[in-house]
Amino acid sequence: MSEPTPYELMGGAPFFTTLVHAFYEGVAQDQVLRPMYPEADLEPAERRFRMFLEQYWGGPDAYSQERGHPRLRMRHAPFEIDMAAHDHWLAHMRNALDLAMAEHQLDPSLEEPLWRYFSGAALAMVNIAPND
């Protein structure tokens, strides 16, 4: 019997659906982040992000099957992402993570690897140097 994946430990699709939906509820109202989403409807972006996270954490590989390699930096390169965008993104993700962890009653030990990943990914997407 193999060890459960993080995806399984987190409760699978229901957890990631809650997490990503809560995140995009914040993004929809954000004056810094919302302009980075050209689609009027955020549902396609929400779906892609959910599939990506599910795959990253050991769930179904639907993201790669549909979109190929994630290439996160390349996919985000057309957008000017500065530290303000970074901070807004992390604030919405923090709120979403807290909500999803509580709603799905996840083991608190799962929060640290999730937050470490989100913090590192947000920083890696920054492509505009701060003005000195």
The model's pLDDT over 46-65, given as tens digits with 9 standing for 90+, comes to 999 999 999 999 999 998 88
The pLDDT score that the predictor gives to residue 13 is 98
Task: Name residues of the chain where pLDDT drops below 70.
Answer: 70, 72-77, 131-132
What is the DSSP code (8-state) at residue 59?
A: S
Sorted by where each starts, the structural domains of the chain and their CATH numbers stand as: 6-125 (1.10.490.10)
pLDDT for 132 equals 42
CA dist 17 and 24 (Å) reads: 11
Question: Cβ(128)–Cβ(81) under 8 Å?
Answer: yes
Q: Cα–Cα distance between 38 and 16 in angstroms, integer?
A: 23
- Which pLDDT does position 37 carry in this prediction? 87
Q: Helices 13-28 & 83-103, crossing angle to 10 degrees?
A: 140
d(CA 92, CA 37): 15
